[in-house]
Amino acid sequence: MSVSYLDQPPEVQARLARLKARDVILSVDGMSKRFNSGKNNVTAIEDLSFQTHRREFLCVIGPSGCGKSTLARILAGLDTASEGWVSLDGKPVQGPGRERGMVFQGYTLFPWLSVRRNVMFGLRMAGVGKVEAQRQADEWLALVGLEKFADAYPHQLSGGMKQRVAIIRALVNRPRVLLMDEPFSALDAQTRQRMQAYLLEIWKKVDITIIFITHDLDEAVFLADRILVLDAHPGRLREMIEVPLPRPRDAAQIASPAFAATKARLEALIHGKETADEDEPYPAVPLLTDVSDEVE
């Protein structure tokens, strides 16, 4: 595995050293995933190995088709690997479990349940009494500033509010790992930035390891301790990048040289490879207008 050590100030070096000293929570060893469709076999992920530590924020990026979402589904236990294994706290992952929460790109809320009852759902399924489940749900809603919307229904919420509910619904069961598959990609730019800040605030207050799938390079640099970069077709580990930004993160860091250097490294790894694979010129586009003045 290739690891990039970009220029890191002493406080970042110390933080990353503390991270590596923590217990390993989740391990992936030699994992491959193939999809069989008649005579065609497609390898989505090949020989992937990595580890995440307790309370780490790991982002996963890569070109389209590199298997990011497939990886998230396997880690969640919603799909199985063709080869290799995944373990959580030293135990093999063999299906979904409460120790792993999942947040999807879609909001996946039950439209017929109120916000409070959406959050209570997992607790009630786990056998928690109604009064206690409601108490815990209200605590989580207060944590993300949605206590006033406890009795509202999903269709009455904005996109960012729905996603906040989806996040705390996944966290209310106290999972060890929170898996997030491009959860903010459908949001507008301003809401997305607010959600990133909300997520970091939640992460600071909860004992949780986050594995965050994204295609947005700025988002990955802003959120992550480390960034796992996948190759495309099939998804292999190309590089693990340690983000040289101190915490807490704020919007001012986006203009910093360290942020720019990290993003440039990601662009070279991802878009450089994509460009090399796309040397063919674009096809000619026929003229579809009779307007005399041309655009440039």
pLDDT tens per residue across span 125-138: 989 999 999 999 99
- For 130, residues 6+ apart whose C-beta sits below 8 A from its C-beta are 120, 124
Residue 82 exposure: Cα atoms within 13 Å on the Cβ side = 14
CATH number at residue 52: 3.40.50.300
Q: Tell me how many domains the chain contains.
A: 2
Tell me if 176 sits within 8 A of 53, measured CB to CB: no
My answer on whether 219 and 74 are in the same domain is yes
Question: Encoding tokens for residue 68?
Answer: 């990011």
Phi, psi of 279 (to 5 degrees): -75, -20
More confident of the two residues 292 and 197:
197
My answer on whether 186 and 76 are in the same domain is yes
> For residue 43, is it within any domain?
yes
Domain with 270 in it:
3-99+177-194+206-276
Locate tokens 């997305």: which residue?
192
For the residues 147-173, what does the mean pLDDT come to? 93
Q: What is the pTM of this model?
A: 0.88
pLDDT band at 275 (very low <50, low <70, confident <90, very high): very low
- For 7, residues 6+ apart whose C-beta sits below 8 A from its C-beta are 244, 258, 261
My answer on whether 261 and 122 are in the same domain is no
Tell me if 107 sits within 8 A of 166, measured CB to CB: yes
pLDDT tens per residue across span 103-131: 988 778 999 999 999 999 989 998 999 99
pLDDT tens per residue across span 171-223: 998 999 999 999 998 888 898 998 999 899 989 988 999 999 999 999 999 99
Residue 203 CA: distances (Å) to CA of 64, 109, 123, 296: 27, 21, 20, 47
Helix (H, G, I), strand (E, B) or coil at 218: helix
My answer on whether 126 and 272 are in the same domain is no
My answer on whether 57 and 134 are in the same domain is no
My answer on whether 136 and 218 are in the same domain is no
- For the cut 60, the answer to whether the pLDDT of residue 1 exceeds it is no
